[in-house]
Structure 1
Amino acid sequence: MGAAAPPTRRRLRPDAWATFHALHCLQASEEVLGEVSWNGLRLIVAHDPVVAQEKGAQRDTRIAELEQLAAQWVGKLAAHDTGRRSRGKKLTDGGARVRFYHAVYEAHLARIIQVDLKSEHFCYDIDERALQHARMMDGKLLLVTNAVDLPPREVVDRYKALADIERGFRVLKSEIEIGPVYHRLPERIRAHAAICFMALILYRVMRMRLQAANSELSPTRALAMLNRIQHHRIVIDQTKSVAGLSTISHEQARVLSALRVRKPVKTA
């Protein structure tokens, strides 16, 4: 029985699989699955060209937006240096530097866009080597295994099955909050665990339906949006009651449609 796990970023250098990438992945139109030898182990390479194209396009769009933002700030700084005033608070090199750094960090591009925090002037640089490495990683799953008798497809399938189980436990511990358990009697502890696992099943069903509807929302985000729907009842003079339902927004209606759940209605 062997083990399979993603290699650490520091241990695995891109040149370990650069030749495989150039020969099999660059012009691929279908899923690619293969392996190379690395440090006496098997390095399994799975490449999805559709995911790679989507990831690359999203990154290029974020980089272009950040460069456009930087160009706007450079223009404002140049205008200030020449004495021209613009509306709003005066922009300084230090302010632009810090704001741009945070924008890059929030876009998860800090490895590619290097902001010089020590410079007196606002400046940055694109690390072409890091960008090229990121493009090579687009759409890829890399696994290192010592199992000599498993074909690459089985290695990937087993890892994905294990990862899905681990993801389920993370959901139980975070979103569903299976612990701590404030119960003493065994039947209550079993009931608590049963309710949590039923919630996990519902979570999985939500995830599958959202994916089938091509929704970008996660189950957690979808639930957060639906939690804003309120049903209220007002009692007047302890005899007459009036019920109401908050307005269903367009976004909430889309979530309900993706989940194939009927819209809530006002009860009498």
Structure 2
Amino acid sequence: MRTSTRKNADGSKVSYLQLAHNEWDPAAKTSRTKVLYSFGRADQLDRAAIERLIKALTRLLGSPTAGGRGRQEPLPGLEFVESRPLGGAWLLDGLWRRLGIDRLLRRLAAGTRRDPVVERVLFALVANRALAPSSKLAATGWVAHDVHLSGLTGGDYTVSDDACYRAMDWLIKVEEKLARGVFDAVADLLNLEVDLIFFDTTSTYFETEDPDTPVWRDEHGRVLDPDGEPGAESGRESDAEGDAPPAGASGRAGFRTHGKSKDARDDLPQVIVGMAVTRDGIPVRVWCWPGNTSDSPLIRQVRDDLRDWTLGKLIWVADRGFTSAANRRHLAAGGGGYILGEKLRSGSPEATAALARQGRYQQVAENLRVKEVKISEHERFVVCHNPEAADRDAATRDRLLTRLEAMIAGSDRLTPTKRAELRGVISTKPGLHRFLRTTPGGLLRIDATKVAADARLDGKYLLRTSDPHLSTEDIALGYKQLLEVERGWRDMKQVLDLRPVYHRLEDRIRAHVLLCWLALLLARIVETRAATTWTRARTQLQRLHVGTFTGPAGVFRQTTPADPETRRLHQALDIALPPRILHLHTEDPAPR
């Protein structure tokens, strides 16, 4: 058996198998190889056809079976070395290539000093995040021993933690071009409806007591160098107090710093992460800001960053943190629009006016009723009522009232000073304090009027939009899809393990978030095309293994049979299953 290898233009190698023997050339007085038969590519070997050939030759020779399925003894010297999960990485790699991310990264790295396998290293980090989330140091061990990755397993290249960090440092430099290229590929593959963009933010904290040193930043939260340009190194020390700010500076802040935590961890430094998602749940892009950044101005930067993308007319959907007048003007500029929500309990003039308007609710979904109210000539307002949410609000209020009753029980017998102290304690608990009333005599009571007023708001919220053509139903259901972003945050934190973040430098933290976004993107495409959850698909795919065998003739890797569900997942994504003989090299055995 002879193996010939050909190198493709992209650097990959393809092996071919041939049946050959040597013949003596008396004229040239040398031995020449004559090819008797070509079996084709080694990774597409038709094993069944070879077994049939062996059986036919065996019958011709009349000797016992030596190569058919009935053979009981292994080939002399053949040894099973290891088995690794293959299915998850194979499917993700196929999707990665279908989206052209491999070609995009190689094109961006062309002409630079980047290692030629930087694309493979970045894919390994994304696959690790999707399949077995861990630190970058642990990911190198995972690649070396616990998974089969095309281009990395069994080759001469060993993924080190230093290679991972270098790849991450380069990734943040090509973030803009990568995000645009990935979106164009995903929109083409899935034929996305990009008419609604949902945006929301979350925070992620760090297990460290000390926040980062403040540095000068631009309006987008990027570090500025003394000349007013975005700095290349985000872990540098701050300018001394009193130094003049560089041009374009918006303020001083550390990246990991204290702020209003959405994880209820105000005691720890954090960063803010934003995500834009389509109506299909596909994450378009992510952003990172210092931990003390308020929500209000962020959506303006996001809209500007996506302005040149081929998105058509967009309706931006966001929560109550983005309803400022400046945001509304910015989102409506250039023919765009918005759907923004806020609580009726906010007490804003619009909320108060909406509550004062009479009207009949219209049922638009099983658990959603809506009515449009006339408040402004420039915006439309829709009051929504969710009966299930109303029941939850009522149950929450009952628990709060029960707790408040227990706290003030017997307070009439306390001295005025002690009652004042108790009132001060209750004032630190907003959920309880809003239902507390103090009588002219200083006694503590539950305010029945406030309880009744609060009950009238159960399950209700207010939507405002600038689009004059959307139906009331589309406005309400469009906002309801904002849950897709919340589901993205939940999966990024619980399935892909966004936290803990094992990095200190700002650019590494940003790169870590980008890797999590790419992993979430691949997972969402699997869910969209295969009608399943990523958790269920991941468990199923990881049952497909590849075994490695070595012997005197060399090394070969053979995959386990794919079960029906694994076949269905590959068919749904139009990705070929791995060949039964994944690798066959007959020159030198693999190192033990």
Q: As a proportion of its length, which structure holds more strand? A: 2
Give the TM-score normalised by structure 2. 0.25
Larger Cα-atom Rg: 2
Q: As a proportion of its length, which structure holds more helix? A: 1
